[in-house]
């Protein structure tokens, strides 16, 4: 079994294998992250993105491989598909003794609440953006099990990150999963100009969408926020030849 060395932490996608790699640490500061995902392409893309942040990341396709890989050293964080053969991401995390971000394809609020109540440290619903996953991993590794930032409030707008709910003056705003991911990308942090390519990386699954997709989703998001009472443009402004920005100044009190 090969150790993760500096060449595996490079940005070159050719260095990423979809098979298991050792989580043996080469530095004291790097965090050990294990991805457990049956789909080979998604597994490879996820571990490559995590290595870009300097994590000692490894990827396997099953719970059995995860247990075999971690016999001598447990990961700091597990990023795992919800169901693994007859096992689950939660039971695997308990067995490995680490925090877990669960990747689920189930829709609705109840499954997310159930996973969180059952012990998940965070939950991401597929499809999700790579930058969102990377940010949640950084936050969880930094804060340990103290708890994640659950809400982001900008003026009268409040976004519940874990439950993926949006409220405006305590009234719910119904958004699609893509619109929610796009809003989060524009709010992290609010006021920053995001290019179309940045928004694609943050709010779209790997290898999907294009600049026109961003423009279309921004238009629908604006309309929904306007209809909810957030003012003209829903707080989203177009910055010519640069991209989009969620403008705090334009929000009504």
Both 15 and 138 in a single domain? yes
- Among 83, 108, 143, identify where a domain stops: 143
The answer to whether the beta carbons of residues 128 and 200 sit under 8 Å apart is no
Both 120 and 54 in a single domain? yes
Coil, helix or strand for 12?
coil
Both 125 and 215 in a single domain? no
Report if residue 222 sits inside a domain.
yes
The average pLDDT across 165-180 equals 90
Both 16 and 89 in a single domain? yes
For residue 145, which of 63, 78, 81 has the smallest C-alpha distance?
Answer: 78
Tell me, yes or no, if the pTM score tops 0.95.
Answer: no
pLDDT for position 6: 26
Task: Give the pLDDT confidence of 24-46 residue by residue, as tens digits.
Answer: 443 334 788 999 999 999 998 99
Report if residue 252 sits inside a domain.
no
92 pLDDT above the threshold of 80: yes
Residue identified by tokens 């694609």 is: 200
Both 11 and 111 in a single domain? yes
217 or 160, higher pLDDT? 217
Report if residue 38 sits inside a domain.
yes
81 pLDDT above the threshold of 90: yes
pLDDT for position 231: 83
Both 98 and 156 in a single domain? no
Count up the domains in the chain and report the number. Answer: 2
Question: Is the N-terminal amide bond of 22 cis, ω within 30° of 0?
Answer: no
Both 77 and 181 in a single domain? no
Task: Give the pLDDT confidence of 105-137 residue by residue, as tens digits.
Answer: 888 888 888 888 888 989 999 888 898 999 999
């Amino acid at each position: 079994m090969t150790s993760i060395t500096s060449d595996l932490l490079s940005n070159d996608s050719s260095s990423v294998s979809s098979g298991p790699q050792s989580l043996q640490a080469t530095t004291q500061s790097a965090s050990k992250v294990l991805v457990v995902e049956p789909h080979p392409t998604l597994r490879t893309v996820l571990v490559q993105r995590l290595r870009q942040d300097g994590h000692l990341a490894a990827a396997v396709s099953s719970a059995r491989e995860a247990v075999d890989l971690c016999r001598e050293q447990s990961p700091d964080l597990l990023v795992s598909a919800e169901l693994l053969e007859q096992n689950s991401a939660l039971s695997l995390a308990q067995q490995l003794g680490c925090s877990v971000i669960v990747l689920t394809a189930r829709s609705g609020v109840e499954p997310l609440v159930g996973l969180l109540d059952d012990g998940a440290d965070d939950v991401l619903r597929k499809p999700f953006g790579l930058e969102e996953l990377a940010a949640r991993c950084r936050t969880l590794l930094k804060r340990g099990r103290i708890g994640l930032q659950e809400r982001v409030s900008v003026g009268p707008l409040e976004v519940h990150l874990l439950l993926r709910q949006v409220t405006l003056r305590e009234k719910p705003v119904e958004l699609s999963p893509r619109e929610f991911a796009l809003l989060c990308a524009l709010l992290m942090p609010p006021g920053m100009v995001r290019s179309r390519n940045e928004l694609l990386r943050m709010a779209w699954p790997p290898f999907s969408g294009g600049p026109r997709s961003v423009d279309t989703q921004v238009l629908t998001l604006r309309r929904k926020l306007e209809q909810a009472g957030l003012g003209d443009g829903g707080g989203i402004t177009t910055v010519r030849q640069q991209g989009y920005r969620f403008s705090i100044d334009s929000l009504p009190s």
